[in-house]
């Protein structure tokens, strides 16, 4: 946040997990049917969703954690926002956004991978990432030369992310869009969500990004 602010006038809306989202997704699937406002945890999810939609860019910060990849609180966030994927309830506002994933720990690639995959399936225009292997639980315990290297990496990454403009979407996003289109036309059909959402927004006739 400090490095991004050095590049220009940046306003942040920050959510700290699990405080901002202290409940698990119940798997009710209401949001996948276009009824996200009926989510039993909507009072926690709605502020985060609104911030995502209204922002120009999104930054995820997470350690590599435990037996899998990301902490349970981050997995809970991804579960609650899974309806944003192209084959469920995609949002036009998402397609012009960029995102950055910052991770720390020994397995940074494993932490970045599930977040990046989901964001591309949302239709996010560009996803950048930086994994910093600290090999310690505290910044102050790192040798000074390594701290300086990390700071340089952060500085370069922040400048690049700030300056990046909208570009042609990633091939994986395009592939997922056409795969979703095939599934909705072949197996979902008229009268069902999210087919009707795609039809209303004209996605079957033209790619929205």
User: What DSSP line would sit under 158-193, residue for residue?
Assistant: HHHHHHPPP-PPPHHHHHHHHHHHHHIIIII-TTST
Mind listing the pLDDT tens digit of every residue in the chain (209 residues)? 999 999 999 999 999 999 999 999 999 999 988 889 999 999 999 999 999 999 999 999 999 887 778 999 999 999 999 999 999 999 999 999 999 999 988 888 999 999 999 999 999 999 999 998 888 878 888 899 999 999 999 999 999 999 999 898 999 999 999 999 999 999 999 999 899 999 999 999 999 99
Per-residue pLDDT, 12: 96
Per-residue pLDDT, 136: 81
Judged by DSSP in three states, 137 sits in coil
Domains of the chain: 2-201 (3.40.50.360)
Per-residue pLDDT, 48: 98
Strand order in the sheet with 57-63: 57-63, 98-104, 126-132
């Amino acid at each position: 946040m400090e490095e991004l602010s050095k590049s220009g006038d940046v306003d942040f809306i920050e959510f700290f997990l699990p405080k901002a989202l202290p409940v698990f997704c119940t798997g009710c699937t209401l949001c996948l049917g276009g009824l996200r406002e009926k989510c039993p945890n909507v009072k926690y999810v709605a502020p985060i969703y609104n911030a995502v939609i209204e922002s120009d860019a999104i930054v995820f910060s997470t350690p590599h954690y435990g037996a899998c990849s990301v902490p349970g609180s981050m997995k809970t966030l991804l579960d609650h926002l899974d309806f944003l994927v192209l084959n469920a309830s995609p949002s036009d506002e998402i397609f012009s956004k960029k995102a950055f994933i910052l991770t720390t720990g020994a397995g940074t690639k494993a932490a970045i991978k599930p977040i990046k995959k989901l964001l591309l399936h949302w239709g996010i225009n560009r996803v950048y990432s930086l994994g910093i292997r600290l090999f310690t639980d505290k910044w102050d315990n790192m040798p000074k030369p390594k701290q300086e290297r990390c700071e340089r990496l952060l500085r370069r990454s922040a400048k690049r992310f700030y300056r990046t403009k909208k570009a042609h979407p990633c091939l994986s996003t395009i592939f997922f869009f056409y795969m979703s289109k095939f599934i909705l036309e072949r197996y979902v059909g008229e009268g069902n969500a999210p087919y009707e959402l795609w039809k209303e927004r004209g996605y079957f006739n033209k790619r929205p990004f």
